[in-house]
């Protein structure tokens, strides 16, 4: 490794070391102090651990059942409006979790259809709605990851099997499934990871009746000021997340959330043998649309169902009984400021890391060093934001880096959590850049920097743009760490929405619905724009 490359590596290593590994070390050390076995043996804690695991398993199984047919129809087959439908299915995954929770609180109140029936107890259970919300958010992960692998498989073997008389189910089981297994394993454990780390959904939909490990961490830290218990639970949550994350990364490295390239070349049209998969896909689409449509409907109506725009006009107020310290508009500006900082941090640092990881290595030691650093910068993706937020409370409350008193603390967490996603989107694009062109530029006397900016960067521009867009969406929706770190006039949009929905009297609920409808529209616009194919490929500049 050259001295220049080693110097470039120092910047991201110092940043992730200070902002991630230092607070995580504090969390782990706090969790190992005291009688942590006694803490884990408490009935309340045991109940939270058991609920976290079993509901994540159930949610993941349902996501698989819904996601695989959708991956087949929307990626493997040529279907009408496939790009639009993929963007629609991705909106719940990209939405702030608090907006999803608000949507399901609205859906849960529509109890006329089950009141007085045998299913009343089932539909009144908060666990039912938590699992439903997890499926709503995460089944698109299965669709995206499996679909992006499925679309690249050759049709020849399947067509030969079909000519030999094999049915669609036999072809899937014997031919497609073995090739898709790494992608399915990766997507499955990624969904399991997200379902165990869904603080906002459990907090709102659980209503205090059921708790997960993450909500217990917040209760221990904020209500009981028991840092030892919070640290122990944070340690357990981290170990659970890392285990699921480690298994998920043994499969494919497919992207989640954006299709940088999308072509219909070679896809076969849907025929009547696909009707079962099409039917399941449309059921999934309907289950996605209903909560989103209900939020939009509630945003434009009063409690009695009368059409109104008053909910939007009230966004400039502090809510009923002056509940909020700041208006939703001010909170939106705080979120926008944080998103800009977080996106610049994640996008710039992530692109630099992706660039350094794609540099050719000439020794086995350098190759191993790159592999280690790849894992080092991927690790934040497998850690809960509530755990990292707790680590920031422990680490940056004073001393030489008192970030706790600065508004920068929230966008730093947001940028750090989006960093691995940027690396994962940009790195394959840089790897795909023509080595021949880069070598030719070097032969013509171009420096490494000039080669990157004039050859590799133009060829990867589409992926880098998508990475910045995805980092922005992830950042604006972050709720876990912000709920611990953002207070007073620095509150963010998700934290203010939680205040409104937790005290829904007067105009508060309508305001939450109005702002949620705006967020849904913006999220769909960004996701759909990112899924559009580029009108032209950017060509490298000539020297």
Q: Are residues 19 and 66 in the same domain?
A: no
Q: Are residues 285 and 344 in the same domain?
A: no
What 3-state class would DSSP assign to 171? helix
How far apart CA 421 and CA 469 sit, in angstroms, is 11
What does the DSSP assignment read for 223-254?
A: IS--HHHHHHHHHHHHHHHHHHHHHHTTS---
How far apart CA 206 and CA 339 sit, in angstroms, is 28
Residue 305 lies in a domain: no
Q: For residue 78, what is the enclosing H or E element?
A: strand 77-78
- Choose one of 299, 326, 351: the last residue of a domain: 299
**pLDDT at position 506, please?**
64
- Choose one of 264, 299, 334: the last residue of a domain: 299
Q: Are residues 66 and 161 in the same domain?
A: yes
User: What is the maximum span of the chain, computed from C-alpha positions, in angstroms?
Assistant: 80
Q: 539 Cβ partners below 8 Å, 6+ apart?
A: 458
Residue 480 lies in a domain: yes
Q: Is beta strand 268-269 parallel, antiparallel or unpaired with respect to 77-78?
A: parallel
Q: Are residues 13 and 106 in the same domain?
A: no
**pLDDT at position 93, please?**
82
Instruction: Supply 166's token pair.
Output: 């094999």
- 401: number of Cβ within 10 Å: 13
Distances (CA, A) of 528 to 199, 257, 450, 524: 27, 11, 33, 6
Residue 306 lies in a domain: no
Site of tokens 């199984």: 61
Q: Are residues 238 and 325 in the same domain?
A: no
Q: Are residues 404 and 290 in the same domain?
A: no
CA proximity to 438, closest of 260, 462, 430 = 430
CATH code, domain with 506: 1.10.3720.10
Q: Are residues 269 and 408 in the same domain?
A: no
Q: State which residues of the chain have pLDDT below 50.
A: 253-258, 260-261, 536-543
Q: Are residues 272 and 402 in the same domain?
A: no
Q: Are residues 204 and 94 in the same domain?
A: yes
Judge contact between 189 and 295, C-beta under 8 A: no
What 3-state class would DSSP assign to 55? helix
Residue 98 lies in a domain: yes
Judge contact between 208 and 199, C-beta under 8 A: no
- Choose one of 235, 265, 299: the last residue of a domain: 299
**pLDDT at position 80, please?**
74
> How many distinct structural domains can be found in the chain?
2
Q: Are residues 106 and 240 in the same domain?
A: yes
Residue 329 lies in a domain: yes
Q: Are residues 13 and 91 in the same domain?
A: no
Judge contact between 213 and 49, C-beta under 8 A: yes
Q: Are residues 390 and 283 in the same domain?
A: no
Domain that holds residue 100: 34-299
**pLDDT at position 477, please?**
75
Residue 215 lies in a domain: yes
How far apart CA 166 and CA 418 sit, in angstroms, is 44
């Amino acid at each position: 490794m050259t001295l220049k490359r080693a110097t470039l590596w120092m910047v991201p290593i110092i940043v992730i070391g200070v902002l991630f590994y230092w607070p995580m070390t504090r969390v782990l050390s706090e969790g190992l102090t005291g009688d942590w076995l006694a803490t884990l043996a408490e009935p309340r804690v045991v109940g939270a651990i058991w609920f976290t695991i079993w509901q994540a398993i159930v949610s993941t199984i349902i996501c698989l059942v819904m996601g695989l047919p959708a991956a087949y129809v929307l990626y493997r087959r040529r279907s009408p409006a496939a790009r639009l439908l993929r963007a629609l299915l991705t909106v719940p995954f990209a939405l702030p979790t608090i907006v999803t929770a608000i949507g399901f609180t609205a859906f849960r109140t529509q109890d006329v259809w089950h009141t007085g029936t045998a299913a009343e107890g089932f539909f009144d259970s908060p666990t039912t709605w938590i699992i439903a919300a997890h499926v709503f958010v995460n089944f698109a992960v299965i669709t995206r990851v499996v679909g992006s692998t499925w679309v690249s498989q050759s049709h020849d073997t399947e067509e030969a099997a079909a000519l030999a008389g094999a049915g669609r189910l036999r072809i899937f089981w014997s031919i497609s499934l073995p090739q898709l297994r790494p992608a399915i394993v990766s997507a499955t454990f990624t969904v399991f990871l997200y379902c165990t780390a869904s603080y906002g959904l459990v907090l709102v939909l659980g209503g205090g009746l059921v708790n997960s490990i993450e909500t217990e961490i917040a209760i221990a830290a904020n209500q009981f000021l028991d840092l030892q218990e919070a640290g122990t639970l944070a340690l357990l949550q981290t170990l659970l997340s890392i285990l699921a994350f480690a298994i998920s990364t043994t499969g494919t490295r497919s992207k989640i959330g954006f299709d940088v390239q999308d072509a219909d070349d070679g896809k076969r049209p849907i025929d009547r043998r696909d009707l079962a998969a099409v039917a399941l896909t449309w059921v999934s689409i309907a289950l996605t649309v209903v909560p989103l449509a209900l939020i939009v409907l509630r945003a434009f109506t009063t409690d009695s169902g009368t059409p109104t725009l008053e909910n939007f006009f009230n966004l400039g107020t502090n809510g009923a009984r002056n509940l909020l310290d700041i208006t939703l508009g001010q909170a939106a500006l705080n979120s926008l400021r944080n998103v800009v900082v977080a996106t610049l941090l994640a996008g710039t640092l992530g692109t630099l890391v992706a660039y350094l990881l794609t540099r050719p290595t000439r020794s086995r030691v350098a190759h191993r060093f790159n592999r280690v650093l790849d894992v080092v910068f991927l690790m934040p993706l497998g850690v809960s934001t509530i755990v990292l937020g707790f680590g920031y409370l422990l680490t940056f409350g004073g001393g030489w880096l008192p970030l706790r008193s600065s508004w920068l603390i929230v966008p730093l967490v947001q940028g750090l959590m989006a960093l691995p996603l940027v690396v994962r989107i940009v790195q394959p694009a840089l790897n795909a850049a023509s080595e021949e062109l880069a070598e030719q530029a070097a032969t013509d006397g171009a420096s490494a920097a000039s080669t990157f900016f004039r050859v590799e960067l133009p060829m990867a521009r589409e992926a880098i743009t998508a990475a910045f867009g995805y980092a922005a969406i992830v950042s604006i929706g972050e709720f876990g760490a912000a709920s611990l770190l953002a207070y007073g006039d620095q509150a963010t949009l998700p934290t203010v929405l939680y205040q409104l929905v937790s005290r829904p009297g007067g105009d508060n609920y309508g305001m939450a619905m109005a702002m949620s409808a705006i967020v849904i529209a913006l999220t769909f616009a960004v996701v759909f724009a990112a899924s559009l194919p580029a009108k032209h490929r950017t060509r490298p500049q000539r020297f």
